């Protein structure tokens, strides 16, 4: 993902319409809770951070999951099998997408559907591919090597696999679609000084947005998880998410606070980040918000050099490995998302 300082014009038009629609959509959901009192409230399951941690470790054990590699193919199989094991109807959407260097990536969006008979749906998503470069690593000789992506990629997927396991045990009163998007992190490398291009990130979600797995697919809202496992992570109000549906962002952050996780969920404005949620929202026309770690303070690395991005210092370096994963952070995010979906009626 990439920090974005400006919106596109087309994006702004859609943003304006969603701001209105999205807020009302969420409010009307709440209203229907009171009128349809007969729906049995389902108790929220307890999120198991040990399981999520293991699902992250299993992904990292494959090696970097870069499209067109055998590690990527093997991990795709693993993820589809896990979703099937947890009772989902699984679709693996295969797509040839074009990367920044005009190479063709054999991408796979892995989709798990629950309660397909229910019209009201919530989309939960994360990217599962890993960055083919370590363009922000301190060691220039290692910048062309793919990263483990324990947090950047595997953490969101690990949390969603644990949520899938819980859904299989206790169904919520809403249809859930889990999508692991591919080729999110294949954007142009920062260390090669190439000319700027547009839309080179989030290739899997761009493909799915134009070719959804269900015709005219629409959810009430979506939640994207990205970099949700680092120790002491802070999740701020991300800029696009706030422009898509500030009511939804506040609603989720309020739930996090209510169940004791305001240490991680900060009710303060963060940066605006191009990530899969932008394409989901713009192409499918429902609001998808991003839970993503950001660092808002100025920082310097061990050499005293200024860190010129707002992500953890491990971001797009070889330090994004299993030592960068903390069960407390996984628990905060996983329990919050479970709480959100089990409150739906």
Range in contact with Zn ion (rule: CB under 5 A) among 46-54, 181-189, 251-259, 302-310: 181-189
Range in contact with Zn ion (rule: CB under 5 A) among 185-193, 213-221, 270-278, 289-297: 185-193
Judged by beta carbon, residue 100 or residue 217, the one nearer Zn ion is: 100
- Is 226 an interacting residue with respect to Zn ion (CB under 5 A)? no
Please report, to the nearest 10 degrees, the dihedral formed by the alpha carbons of residues 213, 80, 233, 334 taken in order.
Answer: 80
Judged by beta carbon, residue 152 or residue 162, the one nearer Zn ion is: 152
Range in contact with Zn ion (rule: CB under 5 A) among 29-37, 156-164, 179-187, 191-199: 179-187
103, 182 Cβ separation under 8 angstroms: no
Site for Zn ion in 136-175 (CB under 5 A): 152
Judged by beta carbon, residue 220 or residue 310, the one nearer Zn ion is: 310
- Is 185 an interacting residue with respect to Zn ion (CB under 5 A)? yes
Would residue 115 be called left, alpha or beta, if left means φ above 0 and alpha means ψ between -120 and 50 degrees? left
CB-based contacts of 126, cutoff 8 Å, min separation 6: 153, 155, 156, 157, 159, 160, 180, 181, 224, 225, 226
Judged by beta carbon, residue 45 or residue 156, the one nearer Zn ion is: 156
Neighbour count for residue 171 (Cβ, 10 Å): 16
Please report, to the nearest 10 degrees, the dihedral formed by the alpha carbons of residues 32, 35, 37, 42 taken in order.
Answer: 10
For the CB of residue 207, give the shortest distance to Zn ion in the complex, in Å: 18
- Is 276 an interacting residue with respect to Zn ion (CB under 5 A)? no
For residue 78, what are its two tokens?
């693993």
Judged by beta carbon, residue 106 or residue 309, the one nearer Zn ion is: 309
253, 282 Cβ separation under 8 angstroms: no
The count of residues interacting with Zn ion (CB under 5 A) is: 2
Residues binding Zn ion (CB under 5 A): 152, 185
């Amino acid at each position: 993902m990439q920090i974005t300082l400006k919106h596109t014009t087309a994006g702004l038009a859609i943003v304006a319409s969603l701001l209105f629609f999205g807020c009302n959509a969420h409010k009307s959901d709440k209203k229907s809770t009171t009128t349809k009192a007969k729906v049995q409230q389902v108790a929220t399951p307890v999120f198991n951070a040990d399981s999520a941690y293991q699902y992250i470790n299993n992904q990292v054990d494959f090696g970097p999951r870069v499209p067109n590699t055998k590690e990527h193919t093997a991990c795709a199989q693993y993820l589809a099998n896990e979703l099937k094991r947890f009772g989902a109807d699984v679709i693996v959407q295969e797509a040839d997408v074009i990367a920044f260097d005009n190479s063709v990536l054999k991408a796979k969006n892995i989709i798990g559907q629950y309660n397909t008979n229910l019209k009201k749906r919530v989309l939960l998503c994360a990217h599962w591919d890993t960055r083919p470069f370590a363009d922000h690593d301190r060691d220039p000789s290692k910048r062309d090597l793919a990263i483990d992506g324990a947090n950047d990629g595997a953490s969101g997927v690990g949390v969603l696999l644990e949520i899938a396991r819980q859904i299989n045990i206790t169904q919520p009163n809403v249809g859930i679609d889990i999508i692991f998007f591919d080729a999110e992190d294949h954007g142009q490398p920062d260390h090669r000084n190439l000319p700027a291009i547009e839309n080179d990130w989030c290739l899997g979600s761009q493909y799915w947005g134009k070719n959804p797995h269900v015709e005219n697919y629409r959810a009430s809202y979506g939640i994207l998880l990205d970099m949700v496992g680092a120790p002491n992570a802070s999740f701020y109000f991300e800029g696009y998410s706030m422009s898509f549906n500030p009511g939804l962002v506040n609603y989720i952050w309020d739930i996090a606070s209510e169940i004791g996780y305001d240490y991680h969920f900060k009710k303060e404005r963060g940066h605006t980040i191009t990530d899969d949620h932008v394409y989901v929202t713009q192409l499918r026309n429902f609001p998808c918000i991003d839970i993503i770690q950001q660092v808002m303070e100025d920082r310097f690395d061990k050499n005293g050099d200024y860190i010129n991005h707002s992500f953890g210092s491990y971001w797009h370096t070889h330090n994004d490995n299993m030592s960068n994963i903390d069960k407390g952070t996984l628990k905060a995010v996983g329990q919050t998302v479970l709480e959100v979906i089990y409150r739906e009626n």
